[in-house]
Amino acid sequence: MAHAPRNPNTSRRPFQFAEPVGNAATCPGAVSVPLPLVALDALHIIEEAGGEAWCVGGCVRDALLGRAVHDVDIASSLPWQRAQEAFRAAGWSTVETGVAHGTLTVVRDGEPLEITTYRCDGAYSDGRHPDAVTAAATIEEDLQRRDFTINALAFHPARGLIDPFGGAADLEAGVIRCVGEPMERFAEDALRILRACRFASQLGFTIEPATFDAMVASKNLLRKVSGERVYRELERFVCGDAVHDALLSCVDVLTFVLPELAAMKGCPQVTPYHIYDVLEHTAWVVQRKPPVPLVRWAALFHDMGKPAVEHFYGHPWVSEQMAEGIMHRLPFPAHLRRDVPVLVRVHDDVVPANERAVRRALGRLGGRTDLFEALCDLKRADALGQAPHCAPRAELAGELRRLLGAVLEAEAAFTVKQLAIGGHDVMALGVPAGPEVGRVLDACLDAVIDGAVANEREALLAFAREQM
Ligand code: ATP
Ligand code: MG
């Protein structure tokens, strides 16, 4: 059995892959494309019902690249109603997800596939959606409506690859190129501008010059694209494996949706710690973080305030304000709106390598050990993105993580909740309900972290009395 590499972060069950197919025995001269078995079964069901079917788009691209195939799209000559009958008869469930434009989702063993009738898109008067979609007669016609040559590929295990626009050569060369005239394609659907940036970041590809020029010239059309669609593409962009190169090469396009990036480009950092401008330093920090949205976004925003403040003094606070502004403009999920600004604010805090300092930092993070770990990651990447002589500071981040482990193992307190007394005990001593209770508990926690008082009820009550 052939296995394509898979993304360990995906929560979906991995696909089962077929033996490489389309080899010399079944398809003379064809490339072999390892596709999920479930996709081959779906092709078979459509053919049994008298239709023609191909695997298309991202799944063919990713399989050819040896990357994880995470969703399968099939193009078929059958109207969706006939496809639905055929899949139901074969015992699959079906969902009418996008039947208005010919897309039916079919599900087997919890694994969804999209089946779309060959179509060509009419005019796009709103720059977002085709005014009408009409059935296309052939797969070649269907491939013409797709965005980039690397996404305009169709594959069938017996008939091989259809590649009318040189997509396989562009995959080989690592190039993102529009199908057809780039200005027209971006005028039809401006989201494609961000999809190009996102593929550059995910795949490490360069954008072909005519396509790139059209992206820059058309970027103001992005105002027509919904915040949700913009956000989805940007998140994939920041989590890409090649985000450093993609951020530097796409910045003049991305400024339409993230204007805050403009001032970072070319903003010098004339300090002994830096050899890059703010944008390139940021690009390195983002790239060196694990590909998860929380830390990647925090990295993108962490120094955004630097161009606005003299000598960068107080920049974390300015960066935090800017991050909050961006996160309200675009529909970030609530947990990121809550956590990213915190990381941005504390990223420059000095945390010496001792347990006491680690416990205090944990306290400032509301006891969130996951945020502390994210902070360590950010500090490590930040140090590695500075001048080479700063690299040893990256080791401090490793040391802080080790100290976190020691703090947790010792069950040492770092929030008032972990104290052996609570608010009721303080009030029982005669402190009136209100902020004063919190102040006394904070003083107790301070003393416990300093080692001045043991985290034991009697000792803490005695100490609390002294604070009144
Ligand atoms: P991924 O699934 O990794 O995000 P993808 O290329 O598969 O990438 P999908 O949104 O799954 O993206 O779309 C499947 C296919 O549909 C694409 O490969 C492309 O052929 C076509 N497609 C998707 N969005 C567009 C678009 N905005 N304009 C033109 N074609 C598109
Ligand atoms: Mg896809």
Three-state SS sequence of the chain: CCCCCCCCCCCCCCCCECCCCCCCCCCCCCCCCCCEHHHHHHHHHHHHCCCCEEEECHHHHHHHHCCCCCCEEEEECCCHHHHHHHHHHCCCEEEEEEHHHCEEEEEECCEEEEEEECEEECCCCCCCCCCCEEECCCHHHHHHCCCEHHHCCEEECCCEEECCCCHHHHHHHCEECECCCHHHHHHHCCHHHHHHHHHHHHHCCEECHHHHHHHHHHHHHHHHCCHHHHHHHHHHHHCCCCHHHHHHHHHHHHCCCCHHHHHHCCCCCCCCCCCCCHHHHHHHHHHCCCCCHHHHHHHHHCCCCHHHCHHHCCHHHHHHHHHHHHHHHCCCCHHHHHHHHHHHHHCCCCCCCCHHHHHHHHHHCCCCHHHHHHHHHHHHHHHHCCCHHHCHHHHHHHHHHHHHHHHHHCCCCCCHHHCCCCHHHHHHCCCCCCHHHHHHHHHHHHHHHHCCCCCCHHHHHHHHHHHC
Q: For ligand 1, what atom is nearest to the CA of residue 58? A: 7
Same domain, 86 and 109: yes
Nearest CA owner, ligand 1 atom 17: 57
Q: Which strands sit side by side in the sheet containing 103-108, from one edge to the other?
A: 93-98, 103-108, 111-117, 72-76, 53-56, 154-156, 160-162
Q: For ligand 1, what atom is nearest to the CA of residue 73? A: 14
Q: Considering all CA atoms of the chain, what is the largest pairwise distance in Å, rounded to the nearest integer?
A: 89
With cut-offs at 50, 70 and 90, classify the pLDDT of residue 419: very high
Look up residue 255 and give its two tokens.
């400024």
Task: Tell me the CA–centroid distance for residue 404 and ligand 2, in Å.
Answer: 40
- The whole domain housing 460 covers 416-467
**Measured distance CA(133)–CA(355) in Å, rounded:** 63
Residue 258 is assigned to a structural domain of this protein: no
* Residues forming a β-bridge with 115: 74, 104
CB-CB contact of 64 with 31 (8 Å): yes
Pairwise pLDDT comparison (16 vs 298), residue with the higher score: 298
Q: Which of 376, 380, 374, 399 is nearest to 285 (CA)?
A: 380
Same domain, 420 and 406: no
pLDDT at position 23, please?
Answer: 38
pLDDT exceeds cutoff 50 at 372: yes
**Measured distance CA(49)–CA(41) in Å, rounded:** 13
**Measured distance CA(74)–CA(114) in Å, rounded:** 6
Residue 420 is assigned to a structural domain of this protein: yes
Q: For ligand 1, what atom is nearest to the CA of residue 147? A: 29
pLDDT at position 18, please?
Answer: 58
CB-CB contact of 165 with 152 (8 Å): yes
Domain count, the chain: 3
Look up residue 120 and give its two tokens.
């060509």
What is the per-residue pLDDT across 131-180, written as a single tens digit (0 to 9) for each?
888 889 999 999 999 999 999 999 999 999 999 999 999 999 999 999 99
Task: Tell me the CA–centroid distance for residue 289 and ligand 1, in Å.
Answer: 27
pLDDT exceeds cutoff 90 at 312: no
Which ligand is nearest to the Cα of residue 145, counting in written order? 1
Q: For ligand 1, what atom is nearest to the CA of residue 236? A: 4
Same domain, 328 and 405: yes
* Average pLDDT rounded to a whole number, residues 233-259: 97
Residue 203 is assigned to a structural domain of this protein: no
- In this prediction the pTM is 0.88
pLDDT exceeds cutoff 70 at 7: no
CB-CB contact of 301 with 326 (8 Å): yes
**Measured distance CA(28)–CA(266) in Å, rounded:** 53
pLDDT exceeds cutoff 60 at 362: yes
CB-CB contact of 48 with 18 (8 Å): no
Q: For ligand 1, what atom is nearest to the CA of residue 152? A: 20
Residue 449 is assigned to a structural domain of this protein: yes
**Measured distance CA(423)–CA(410) in Å, rounded:** 24
Residue 25 is assigned to a structural domain of this protein: no
Residue 43 is assigned to a structural domain of this protein: yes
Task: Tell me the CA–centroid distance for residue 117 and ligand 1, in Å.
Answer: 15
How many CA atoms within 13 Å lie on the side-chain side of 290?
A: 11
Residue 41 is assigned to a structural domain of this protein: yes
Same domain, 369 and 456: no
Same domain, 348 and 423: no
Domain end among 139, 165, 191: 165
Q: What percent of the chain has pLDDT over 70?
A: 91
CB-CB contact of 449 with 414 (8 Å): yes
Least confident of 10-19, 147-156, 266-275, 389-398: 10-19
Pocket test for ligand 1, best of 151, 225, 234, 236 (most atoms within 8 A of CB): 151
pLDDT exceeds cutoff 80 at 387: no
Same domain, 383 and 449: no
Same domain, 372 and 424: no
How many CA atoms within 13 Å lie on the side-chain side of 444?
A: 32
* Average pLDDT rounded to a whole number, residues 4-30: 45
With cut-offs at 50, 70 and 90, classify the pLDDT of residue 30: low
pLDDT exceeds cutoff 60 at 296: yes
Residue 362 is assigned to a structural domain of this protein: yes
pLDDT at position 121, please?
Answer: 85
CB-CB contact of 153 with 59 (8 Å): no
Domain end among 391, 410, 429: 410
Task: Tell me the CA–centroid distance for residue 338 and ligand 1, in Å.
Answer: 31
**Measured distance CA(299)–CA(296) in Å, rounded:** 5
Which ligand is nearest to the Cα of residue 57, counting in written order? 1
How many CA atoms within 13 Å lie on the side-chain side of 207?
A: 28
Same domain, 391 and 370: yes
Nearest CA owner, ligand 1 atom 7: 58
Backbone angles phi, psi at 387, to 5 degrees: -65, 150
Nearest CA owner, ligand 1 atom 9: 58
How many CB atoms lie under 10 A from the CB of residue 354?
Answer: 12
CATH of the domain at 101: 3.30.460.10
What is the per-residue pLDDT across 178-215, written as a single tens digit (0 to 9) for each?
999 999 999 999 999 999 999 999 999 999 999 999 99
Task: Tell me the CA–centroid distance for residue 271 and ligand 2, in Å.
Answer: 44
Which ligand is nearest to the Cα of residue 133, counting in written order? 1
Parallel, antiparallel, or unpaired: how do β-strands 103-108 and 93-98 relate? Answer: antiparallel
CB-CB contact of 11 with 86 (8 Å): no
Residue 461 vs residues 61, 237, 417: alpha-carbon distances, Å: 66, 53, 15
pLDDT at position 15, please?
Answer: 61
Domain end among 364, 379, 410: 410
pLDDT at position 114, please?
Answer: 97
Same domain, 303 and 368: yes
Task: Tell me the CA–centroid distance for residue 110 and ligand 1, in Å.
Answer: 22
* Pocket of ligand 1 from Cβ distances under 6 Å: 57-58, 71, 73, 146-147, 151, 189, 191-192
Same domain, 298 and 387: yes
* Average pLDDT rounded to a whole number, residues 119-128: 83
Task: Tell me the CA–centroid distance for residue 205 and ligand 1, in Å.
Answer: 16
pLDDT at position 126, please?
Answer: 82
With cut-offs at 50, 70 and 90, classify the pLDDT of residue 420: very high
Same domain, 126 and 146: yes
Same domain, 406 and 421: no
Q: Which of 230, 161, 231, 151 is nearest to 185 (CA)?
A: 151
pLDDT at position 1, please?
Answer: 32
pLDDT at position 131, please?
Answer: 83
Pocket test for ligand 1, best of 62, 65, 67, 73 (most atoms within 8 A of CB): 73
CB-CB contact of 309 with 270 (8 Å): no
pLDDT exceeds cutoff 90 at 406: yes
